[in-house]
Amino acid sequence: MRKYAPCLMRRSNLSNLPAELNRFVGRGAEIRELQGLLTRFRLVTVVGVGGVGKSRLVVRAAAAAEKRYCDGVRLAELAPLRDPGLLEQALLDALGLTDHTRRPPREVLAEHLVDRRLLLVLDGFEHLVDDCAGLVRELLRRCPGLTVLAAARCPLRLDGEAVVPLAPLPEADAVRLFTERAAAVLPGFRTEDGGRVEGDDSVRELCRRLDGIPLALELAAGRLPALGVEQMLHRLDDRFRLLTGGTRGALPRHQTLRTAIGWSHELCTPRERLLWARLSVFVGPFDLEAVEYVCGGPELPADEVLDTVAGLVDRSVVLREETPAGVRHRMLDTVRAYGAEWLAELGDEERMRRRHRDWYMGLATWCELEWFSPRQAEVAACADSALPDLRAALELCLEAPEEAHLAQHLAATLWFCWVGCGRLAEGRHWLDRVVALEPGHDEARLRALWVLGYVAVLQGDDTAAVAALYECGEGAARTGNALAAAYTTHRMGCLALLSDDMPRAEELLSQALTAYRELGELNSQVLMGQVELAMAKVFLGEPEAAVALCREVREVCEDRGELWTRAYALYVLAYSAWTRGAYGEARELLGECIAIDHAFHDLVGLVLAVELLALVTAAEGDPAEAAVLQGAAAPMWEAVGLPLFGSGYFSAPRVLCEQRAGEELGAERFRSCVAEGSALPLDAAVARALSGRPLDRVPSPRGARTRARRGGRPG
Closest listed residue to residue 294, CA positions, set 351, 368, 344: 351
Q: Which of 346, 363, 380 is the last residue of a domain?
A: 363
CA dihedral 276, 282, 286, 291 (to 10 degrees): -50
Domain-embedded: residue 80 = yes
Q: With contact defined as beta carbons under 8 Å apart, do 535 and 576 qualify? A: no
Domain of 37, CATH number, reads 3.40.50.300
In this predicted structure, what is the pLDDT of residue 61? 92
Residues 6+ apart with CB under 8 A from 534: 545, 546, 547, 549, 550, 553, 569, 572
Are 248 and 131 within one domain? no
Domain-embedded: residue 594 = no
Closest listed residue to residue 390, CA positions, set 529, 260, 237, 286: 286
Q: With contact defined as beta carbons under 8 Å apart, do 140 and 146 qualify? A: yes
Domain count, the chain: 3
In this predicted structure, what is the pLDDT of residue 268? 82
What residues in the chain have per-residue pLDDT under 50? Answer: 1-12, 192-198, 240-248, 646, 693-715
Calpha distance 627→669 (Å, rounded): 9
Are 156 and 177 within one domain? no
Are 99 and 43 within one domain? yes
Are 82 and 179 within one domain? no
Q: Which of 348, 363, 378 is the last residue of a domain?
A: 363
Are 159 and 227 within one domain? no
Domain-embedded: residue 149 = yes
Instruction: In the chain, count H helices and then E strands.
Output: 33, 7
Are 161 and 52 within one domain? yes
Provide DSSP, 345-409.
HHT-HHHHHHHHHHHHHHHHHHHHHHHSSTTHHHHHHHHHHHHHHHHHHHHHHHH-GGGHHHHHH
Are 130 and 185 within one domain? no
Closest listed residue to residue 353, CA positions, set 277, 440, 444, 261: 277
Are 262 and 274 within one domain? no
In this predicted structure, what is the pLDDT of residue 24? 80
What 3-state DSSP class applies to 274? helix
Residues 6+ apart with CB under 8 A from 242: 262
Domain-embedded: residue 104 = yes
Are 136 and 48 within one domain? yes
Print the domain residue range for 226.
171-266
In this predicted structure, what is the pLDDT of residue 147? 94
Are 232 and 325 within one domain? no
Domain-embedded: residue 256 = yes
**Residue length of the chain:** 715
Domain-embedded: residue 678 = no
In this predicted structure, what is the pLDDT of residue 168? 82
In this predicted structure, what is the pLDDT of residue 642? 54
Q: With contact defined as beta carbons under 8 Å apart, do 181 and 215 qualify? A: no
Closest listed residue to residue 681, CA positions, set 645, 642, 636, 641: 636
In this predicted structure, what is the pLDDT of residue 125? 87
Are 130 and 34 within one domain? yes
Are 67 and 131 within one domain? yes
What 3-state DSSP class applies to 20? coil
3-state helix, strand, coil in the chain (%, to 5): 65, 5, 30
Domain-embedded: residue 331 = yes
Q: Which of 112, 143, 165 is the last residue of a domain?
A: 165
Domain of 303, CATH number, reads 1.10.10.10
Residues 6+ apart with CB under 8 A from 484: 443, 446, 447, 449, 450, 472, 475, 476
